[in-house]
């Protein structure tokens, strides 16, 4: 059986490339893995999550400047999820076939193009199309990182690595809350997207030129064989056992965090946009703290029998409890939103849990298929609420 599935996976050595000398007998150091593997993926996912949640803060500007209705705003924002979801199966095949370095670098260039179109758009069709391009462009940011981690890190470290990269996404969400709200009077929402375009191109260059290659069979097999792998995932009972949780727990949280949290706080609680953005900031701080906690404690807890699956079960239950308290307005509102972010962070362990049920050669397709369910749910919930 696959040594990785038995927990005995040892990262192979990278291909020797110009600027990346390594003797055949050496093995990658933790510093090498952090600088050349983790950090480039982490930067890409930071950018992805910033773009996922940015409309929550700029939504008042969009509605007032462009005259958008709530349904228009929901559709505009959710085209990100729609394009992201459509891309997942092709992205999964590409990751397993060509490797995360090439795939993610190319897609981030598309992100930059979408950001430029959004920054220059003046109507719903243009902005929705640009938002869709952005969703397509960042569609491999997390999945590429997870695929890279399965190639370079031992399986017992994957839960912690998932926590750490998700914390970088949470940092992107933090950036897109109160800090962005404070910058908007100076740069405007169009200036913010010009900055995103520059960051996207820079991230693509870093991933392509900094990250090492690894010979793990990229490009082997036919497209028909790749599609058979997708079918193997989609017909598996193990996959469908997690699909509802992915769509409505993970996807529902993204719909709330990415758009409707701020309008809810302004309309239902009667807060100003600045105060609502503060609550979104603390929601994202809670998620950041939750992901960092998972990164630090997932591996020791798993050794004591508290697995990532147990973590997800507890987090789902506590999320529903906290949401109930928010709905009935019992308790300090700011603290409740922060706790909601903290306990919801456990949902990201779904990717590693589901991937562990399949052979490693299918890891890219497994994680993108389960991610497809999350983004279908996010699209449906976000537009449906609007």
Tens-place pLDDT, residues 32-50: 777 888 888 899 999 998 9
Highest mean pLDDT among 136-150, 253-267, 330-344, 353-367: 330-344
CA distances from 20 to 2, 36, 164, 205, 210 (A): 29, 10, 25, 16, 9
Q: What is the per-residue pLDDT across 270-302, written as a single tens digit (0 to 9) for each?
A: 999 889 988 988 998 898 899 889 888 888 888
Predicted local distance difference test score (pLDDT) of residue 221: 64
Of 111, 106, 82, 84, nearest to 95 (Cα)? 106
Mean predicted confidence (pLDDT) in 305-324: 92
Quick: pLDDT tens for 223-240: 788 888 889 999 999 899
| pLDDT(215) > 60 | no
- Which of the 8 DSSP states describes residue 331? S
Q: Is it the case that residue 17 has pLDDT exceeding 60?
A: no
User: 329 by DSSP, 3-state: which?
Assistant: coil
Please check whether residue 215 is in contact with residue 12, taking contact to mean a CB–CB distance below 8 angstroms: yes
Q: Calculate the average pLDDT of the chain.
A: 84
Fill in the DSSP letter of residue 17: B
pLDDT, greater one: 20 or 168: 168
**Span 54-103, pLDDT tens digits:** 888 888 888 888 888 888 888 888 888 889 888 988 988 888 888 888 99
Residue 50 is encoded by which pair of tokens?
């910033």
- Please compute the mean of the pLDDT values over residues 309-326 and round it to a whole number: 93
Q: Are 315 and 347 in contact (CB under 8 A)?
A: yes
Reported residue count of the chain is 386
Amino acid 12: pLDDT: 43
Token pair 């199966």 is found at: 89
Task: Tell whether the model's pLDDT for residue 212 goes beyond 80.
Answer: no
User: What is the percentage of the chain residues whose pLDDT exceeds 90?
Assistant: 30
For tokens 């939504």, what's the residue?
59
* Structure letter (DSSP) for residue 311: H
Identity of the highest mean pLDDT range in 60-74, 246-260, 308-322, 365-379: 308-322
Task: Reply yes or no on whether the pLDDT at 19 is more than 60.
Answer: no
Cβ-based neighbour number of residue 31 at 10 Å: 8
pLDDT tier at 220 (50, 70, 90 boundaries)? low
Residues 6+ apart with CB under 8 A from 80: 51, 52, 131, 132, 134, 135, 258
Q: What is the pTM of this model?
A: 0.73
What six digits make up the tokens of 197?
Answer: 């375009």
Instruction: Look at residue 383 and tell me whether its pLDDT is greater than 60.
Output: yes
| DSSP string computed for 94-145 | HHHHH-HHHHHHHHHHHHHHHHHHHHH--SHHHHHHHHHHHHHHTTTHHHHH
Predicted confidence (pLDDT) at residue 138 exceeds the cutoff of 80: yes
**Terminus-to-terminus CA distance in the chain, angstroms?**
49
pLDDT of residue 367: 84
Number of Cβ within 10 Å of residue 330's Cβ equals 10
């Amino acid at each position: 059986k696959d040594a990785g599935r038995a927990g005995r996976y040892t990262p192979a050595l990278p291909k020797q490339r110009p600027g990346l000398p390594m003797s055949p007998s050496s093995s990658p150091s933790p510093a090498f893995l952090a600088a050349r593997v983790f950090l480039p993926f982490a930067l890409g996912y930071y950018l992805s999550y910033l773009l996922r949640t940015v409309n929550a803060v700029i939504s008042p500007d969009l509605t007032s400047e462009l005259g958008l209705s709530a349904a228009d705003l929901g559709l505009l924002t959710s085209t990100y999820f729609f394009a992201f979801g459509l891309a997942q199966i092709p992205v999964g095949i590409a990751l397993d076939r060509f490797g995360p370095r090439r795939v993610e670098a190319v897609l981030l260039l598309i992100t930059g193009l979408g950001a430029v179109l959004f920054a220059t758009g003046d109507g719903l069709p243009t902005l929705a199309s640009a938002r869709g391009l952005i969703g397509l462009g960042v569609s491999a940011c997390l999945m590429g990182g997870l695929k890279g981690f399965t190639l370079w890190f031992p399986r017992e470290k994957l839960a912690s690595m998932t926590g750490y990269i998700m914390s970088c996404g949470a940092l992107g969400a933090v950036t897109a809350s109160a800090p962005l709200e404070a910058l908007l009077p100076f740069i405007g929402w169009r200036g913010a997207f010009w900055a995103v375009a520059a960051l996207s191109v820079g991230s693509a260059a870093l991933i392509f030129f900094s990250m090492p290659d690894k010979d793990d069979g990229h490009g082997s097999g036919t497209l028909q064989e790749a599609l058979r792998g997708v079918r193997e995932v989609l017909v598996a009972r193990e996959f469908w056992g997690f699909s509802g949780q992915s769509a409505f727990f993970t996807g529902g949280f993204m719909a709330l965090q990415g758009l409707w949290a701020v309008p809810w706080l302004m309309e239902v609680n009667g807060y100003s946009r600045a105060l609502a953005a503060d609550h979104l900031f603390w929601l994202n701080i809670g998620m950041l703290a939750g992901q960092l906690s998972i990164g630090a404690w997932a591996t020791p807890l798993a050794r004591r029998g508290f697995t990532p699956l147990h973590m997800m079960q507890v987090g789902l239950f506590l999320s529903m409890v906290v949401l109930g308290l928010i709905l009935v307005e019992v308790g300090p509102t700011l603290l409740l939103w922060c706790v909601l972010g903290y306990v919801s962070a456990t949902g990201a362990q779904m990717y590693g849990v589901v991937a562990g049920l399949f052979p490693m050669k299918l890891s890219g397709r497994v994680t993108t298929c389960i991610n497809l369910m999350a983004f279908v749910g996010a699209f449906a919930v976000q537009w449906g609420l609007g």
